[in-house]
Amino acid sequence: MKVESLSYKELLKKRPLNVQAIYGDEPVGLVSGRDIIEVARKKGAVVLAANARNPLTIKGVFRAAKKLNSVVLIELAKSESTYCGCTYDNVPDYAVKYSKELGHGVIFGLHVDHYTIKSMSDVYKAIAHLRQIIERGWTSVAIDASHNPDWENLMYTRDVAQHIPAYLGLEVEVGEIKGPGELTTLEEALFFVGGLNAWCIFPDLLAISNGSMHGTYDKTVGQIEGIDLNRTKEIADAIARYGVSIAQHGISGTPLDKAAMFPKYGINKGNVGTLWQNIIFGLEIEPETGNAVIKDGSYVKDPKRGIPMDLWNKIVAWADEQGYSRKSGDYKKANKPFHDQIMALPEEIQEQIVAETEEWATKYIKAFASEGTAELIFEAISSRRDHNSTPERKVYHSRSEFTPEKAPDACRRRKKDDKDYSD
């Protein structure tokens, strides 16, 4: 994307106000999640949304995005911000830095992934915290109150969404991402999205429980990828009139040929997270899925990839001290204590990590039919008068149609547990 072009200059003038307020003098292509999903929907593509537990992930994904002229999302879950060196405060600056190194021209959004709400107390905290996050330049937010019963999910999501600027991207969720088994029903999805519509809340994306899971599929205990595309399409077709499509979570470990089918099933955003961590750590992974290999109750470190063996051994010793098994998903919590050591690695090691990240990002962008989507951003932005990308939507429902008694689970309560499925 040529930074000197008139269309790029117009894009800069029509970036979200929060971006202009902090990066107004920097020609960085940071745009609203609304524009990005509109473009993906128009092209019939899936936008790669990369969870950046380490800054090197951003650099590699940006290189692939610029090479393929694709829009991308860089995202960070609320929980990830607590155990990674990447935070809601520093990711925007990392993104601008790496964009600048490439001469700018990368078109991307910054997405607050899985901002978890479990109670009214969380709602109160979210109002202040999300305001701070948005002021740092984030351009899209995923409110995740899916841990709650259907009525509370609707109300908590409504209350938080009303404090997010309408010109920023919005993702919502019904049904926790737990893996094969418990699937979001059509009834739940329609109650949730229809109820938000009645309150004039217009999401771009709906995340559902459709058989995927976050983290590694441990095939030694029979875990397998199980995304139910038929249920996904059933829900996607039903919510399409609201201007909402599906955000697919938990893609790491999914065969690329299956991922290539996503656009046909109403999916316009694809979250990939654990894979990038596997690349950083240099774990042995399956070439068609990116799933980490587990042997003899342990992840397998490839000495020729990722961080050096001596640093990996330090991470293993640290994890042992924490009481984690050597195939535990809690290895993700090593990102923060070892962040500085990873970022201080010799340039040639960092470059190898970035190059492998770029390679995988390229595979996903191609599988997702996202090549060329950056060019379409200019059409979307030039079609409106100014920065404000708030969508035009029709209100279909009366609020009286959505009451606690009419919630799908009013007569039953889904089994809950204390586990966190948000990343």
- For 174-192, what is each residue's pLDDT tens digit? 998 877 777 999 999 999 9
> In this model, does residue 103 exceed pLDDT 80?
yes
As a three-state string, the secondary structure of the chain is: CCCCCHHHHHHHHCCCHHHHHHHCCCCCEECCHHHHHHHHHHHCCCEEEEECCCHHHHHHHHHHHHHHCCCEEEEEECCHHHHCCCCCCCHHHHHHHHHHHCCCCCEEEEEEEEEECCCHHHHHHHHHHHHHHHHCCCCEEEEECCCCCHHHHHHHHHHHHCCCCCCCEEEEEECCCCCCCCCCCHHHHHHHHHHHHHCCCCCCEEEECCCCCCCCCCHHHCCCCCCCHHHHHHHHHHHHHHCCEEEECCCCCCCHHHHCCHHHHCEEEEEECHHHHHHHHCECECCCCCCECEECCEECECCCCCCCHHHHHHHHHHHHHHCCCCCCHHHHHHCCCCHHHHHCCCHHHHHHHHHHHHHHHHHHHHHCCCCCHHHHHHHHHHCCCCCCCCCCCCCCCCHHHCCHHHCCCCCCCCCCCCCCCCC
pLDDT band for position 420 (cuts 50, 70, 90): low
Average pLDDT score over residue span 33-62: 98
Predicted pLDDT at 381: 93
CATH domain 6-387 topology: TIM Barrel (3.20.20)
Both tokens of 148, joined, read 């709650």
Task: Record the pTM.
Answer: 0.96
| Per-residue model confidence as pLDDT tens digits over 372-415 | 999 999 999 999 999 999 999 999 999 999 999 999 998 765 44
The closest alpha carbon to 31, from 48, 40, 19, belongs to 19
pLDDT band for position 353 (cuts 50, 70, 90): very high
Q: Across all residues in the chain, what is the average pLDDT? A: 95
> In this model, does residue 350 exceed pLDDT 90?
yes
| Per-residue model confidence as pLDDT tens digits over 207-251 | 999 988 888 888 888 888 889 999 999 999 999 999 999 999 999
Predicted pLDDT at 113: 97
Predicted pLDDT at 177: 80
Integer Rg of the chain from CA: 20
| Per-residue model confidence as pLDDT tens digits over 106-130 | 999 999 999 999 999 999 999 999 9
